[in-house]
Amino acid sequence: LEAKITPLKRLTYVRQLERKYNKSLSLLRMFGEKLRTLKMPIALGSDKLPCPVELMLPSPLIEAYRNQDEFSIGVGPDWKSQNSWIFLEKQLESHKEFLKDFQDYISHSSLSLT
């Protein structure tokens, strides 16, 4: 579960920012190339980017949650099974995958909610 929830956890904050910045550059390069293949009028820079990119600004709070999802755990309609729910407006596929793994984890737990 840890790899899905916090894939950058074992990296220092500076390394996390570097990884995110490099991923952003990679995605923008891919986007620029896609636009060129579609014959869109776009000029790529010498760095093959469709636009200038500034460095990411670090958060002043690096030991607190910057993003948060809310999960709830309770008994199922049969009052026996344990279920989990996620409360989000837009559920990302990665959140759905995590919820499935989390549901599997609690359903095999020896701990009881009742």
In one-letter notation, the amino acid at residue 87 is F
- Counting Cα atoms < 13 Å in the Cβ hemisphere of 10 gives 4
State residue 65's pLDDT score.
59
pLDDT-based confidence at residue 113 (cuts at 50, 70, 90): low
Q: What is the pLDDT of residue 30?
A: 92
6's enclosing H/E stretch is none
Q: Tell me the pLDDT tens digit for each residue of 16-34.
A: 999 999 999 999 999 999 9
Overall pTM > 0.75: no
